[in-house]
Amino acid sequence: MSATIRLTAAQAMVRWLSVQMTEDGERFIEGCWAIFGHGNVAGLGEALHGIGDAFPTWRGQNEQTMAHAAIAFAKASARRRAQAVTASIGPGSTNMVTAAALAHVNRLPVLLIAGDVFASRRPDPVLQQVEDFDDGTVSANDCFRPVVRYFDRIQRPEQLLTALPRALRVMTDPANCGPVCLAFCQDTQAEAWDWPEAFFAPRVWRIRRPEPDARELAQVAGLIRAAKRPAIVAGGGVVYSGAEAALSDFAARHGIPVAETQAGKSALAQADPMNFGASGVDGSAAANAVLRDADLVIGVGTRLQDFTTGSRTLFAPDARLVSINAQPYDAAKHGAVSLVADARVALEKLTAMLGDHKVDFNPAPRANWLAAVDTHCAAPAPGNDLPTDAQVIGAVQRAAPGAIAMCAAGTMPGALKLLWQPAQGGYHMEYGYSCMGYEVAGAMGIKLAAPSREVVCFVGDGSYMMANSELATAVMRRIPFTVVLTDNRGYGCINRLQQVCGGAEFNNMYADCNVADQPRIDYVAHAGSMGAHAVKAAGIADLEAQIIAARGRSVPTVIVIDTTAKDGPATGLDGGLTDQAGHWWDVAVPAVGATDRLRDAYQTYLENAARARLVN
């Protein structure tokens, strides 16, 4: 008879997780963020305390933002490491649902251990239990089902023997990677069972590299050979595959310009001569011109979201589309010719097949666009005007050229995608879900994954108000990063979209809200009250100085700067920054309205919608 060890289900879970290793000899799941309640404190809490530093526990301030930090850690680790997050029954667990959706959209691994009801149903209904009148098996945690890659409810200890390996299989699968939710019944957590000792033997998880089908590879190579004006769209799959060098070599050898998605930005440094910048709605004049004129568009590791394709209006109607992706679901989008494979493997094999094949491309649009970026990001002349977002970005670029710039929502994601000029790996944007409130927690997660890199978090006042409490966690744990808080006194991005869609300015800027008095929020005092070093920048020059000064601190620095709420150059279509083609975003406009402004907006909407490319 094989040897066994008697442990509670929770003790067994954390012991097993502590010995799941990467090829580099590190734990794949580094540790666990935890906020305890009656659904996890007695079982999982005791187990985490008992295992100590062999599987460390960190306390956060909010279940959603703890999970954001864990997701940012996984993204900054290129999906090669991850973290767990546990929350109690009821609101603690449902607070994590938004974060689960964020991870799902972005194909990022996180293990969510959600406290659940009693498997025995003895105290049914327990405090915070959501009851379904028609289905006794349902709990609030069923909300996770559509937003995770794998869901399991643990009602018996021995179910962990299969559930835990399945969870890690999903989290390390390049095609199906995403969040996992294990809903852990609270009485089951504390129940003892005799576990096979072999279950706790260390295991190494290797992330596979799927090889391409020979026929698909040959077809794609033939399409590239036949193309006169090919162009590449590089997505996050390039980074997760570690294909940065392969992409740079492939583009240079064959003369194919590269455009970037939000997730793919900084796979190539901006200094790479084949990097033409951002694609689509927030795209550069150089990239969008190349993609508009391309007769073959090659997507590499991208799901071709609407911002990337200009809501399907950017690519020429007769252009062919190829999609290289480890996930067949993504590879087949938009009627593309699919090459299902790891990005690095596919690019290396295509390079070998194409040999010395090379097409001519025009480098001038790239140079012209970069010159326009420099102009728009230059420090303003002395005066009383509030700075634009472009000028703020320029200041950070000058003061911290090697930093990782990160953001998630508002105006800044589009402005940064267009204007930030990163070194390789110097950009981190959560734009698949574009979740307000990701920024501060995400910056902490990035710094945990890359402690030697400078991390600059760009956040608007609206997103900061959504979720800022993990500043206190970063202070407690001495995790330093810099927050540049741009205050335009409301939701400036959506206010502009509201006007573009023909609406009146309403309920976005504080000035247009139904309030008796305008808020006077002292962000410096607020951040300082949590222990951060906080300061108000007097202008662009002072912002540069404060960013440099922040490097010597062991706690986060929050730099607040007032910015203009008006439409800035980074969102316009002039000055050589952007290109009309592909700059449209499909946001439905009311077909009937009382104002000329709305009627004009609807007519423009119809004209743009008619350009949409539905199939290849």
Antiparallel, parallel or unpaired: β 296-300 and 337-340: unpaired
Nearby residues of 92 by Cβ (< 8 Å), 6 or more positions away:
35, 37, 39, 40, 63, 114, 115
Spatial distance between the Cα atoms of 185 and 40, rounded to a whole number of angstroms: 9
Q: Would you state the pLDDT for residue 443? A: 98
Split at pLDDT 50, 70, 90, the class of 569 is very low
pLDDT for 39 beyond 80: yes
490-517: pLDDT as tens digits: 777 888 888 888 888 888 878 888 888 8
Burial group, residue 593, by CB count within 10 angstroms (0-12, 13-18, 19+): middle
pLDDT at 574 over 60: no
The yes-or-no verdict on residue 366 having pLDDT over 70 is yes
pLDDT tens column, 307-336? 999 999 999 999 999 999 999 999 999 999
pLDDT at 570: 39
Contact between residue 70 and residue 82 where contact means Cβ atoms under 8 Å apart: yes
Q: In the structure encoding, which two tokens stand for residue 506, read together?
A: 């309403």
pLDDT for the residue numbered 515 = 84
Mean pLDDT of the region 175-201: 98
pLDDT tens-digit profile of 191-227?
999 999 999 999 999 999 999 999 999 999 999 999 9
User: How is 422-440 classified by DSSP, letter by letter?
Assistant: PPTT-EEE--SS--TTHHH
Average pLDDT on 597-604 reads 90
Asked if the model's pLDDT at residue 566 lies above 80, the reply is: no
Instruction: Report, as an integer, the average pLDDT of 373-394.
Output: 91
Whether the predicted pLDDT of 1 surpasses 80 = no
Of the given ranges (208-222, 359-373, 597-611), which has the lowest mean pLDDT? 597-611
Averaged pLDDT for residues 580-608: 87
Phi and psi at residue 591, in whole multiples of 5°? -75, -20
Q: Is the pLDDT of residue 485 over 50?
A: yes
Distance CA 469, CA 521 (A): 16
Q: What is the mean pLDDT of residues 567-592?
A: 69
Mean pLDDT in the chain? 94
Q: pLDDT tens digit string along 134-147?
A: 999 999 999 999 99
| Mean pLDDT, residues 552-576 taken together | 74
> In which band, very low, low, confident or very high, does the pLDDT at 573 lie, cut at 50, 70 and 90?
very low
pLDDT at position 572, please?
A: 44
**Bridge partners for 7 per DSSP:** 193
Which residue stretches of 123-205 are H helix? 160-171, 186-190
pTM of the model: 0.96
Q: DSSP assignment of 399-418, as one string?
A: H-TTSEEEE-SSSHHHHHHH
Which amino acid, 81?
A: R
pLDDT at 185 > cutoff 90: yes
Q: So what's the pLDDT on residue 25?
A: 96
Whole-angstrom distance, CA of residue 105 vs CA of residue 363: 34
SS3 345: helix
Phi, psi dihedral angles at 458 (to 5 degrees): -95, 125
Give the integer Cα–Cα distance in Å for 110 and 72.
10
Question: Tell me, what's the pLDDT at 514?
Answer: 86
Instruction: State the pLDDT at residue 79.
Output: 98
* Those residues with Cβ within 8 angstroms of residue 93's Cβ, 6 or more apart along the chain or in another chain: 39, 63, 87, 114, 115, 116, 140, 141, 183
Domains of the chain: 4-204 (3.40.50.970), 214-366 (3.40.50.1220), 389-567 (3.40.50.970)
> How far apart are alpha carbons 528 and 522 in whole angstroms?
10
Confidence of residue 615 (pLDDT cuts 50, 70, 90): low
With CA atoms as reference, report the closest residue to 41 among 59, 28, 62. 59
Share of the chain above pLDDT 90, in %: 86
What are the backbone dihedrals phi and psi of residue 371, each rounded to the nearest 5 degrees, phi first? -65, -40
Tokens found for residue 514: 């139904």
Q: How many CA atoms lie within 13 A of 264 on its CB side?
A: 30
**Cβ contacts of 379 within 8 Å, gap of 6 or more:** 391, 394, 395, 540, 541
- Rounded (5°) CA angle 275-277-278: 140
59-85 pLDDT, tens digit each: 999 999 999 999 999 999 999 999 999
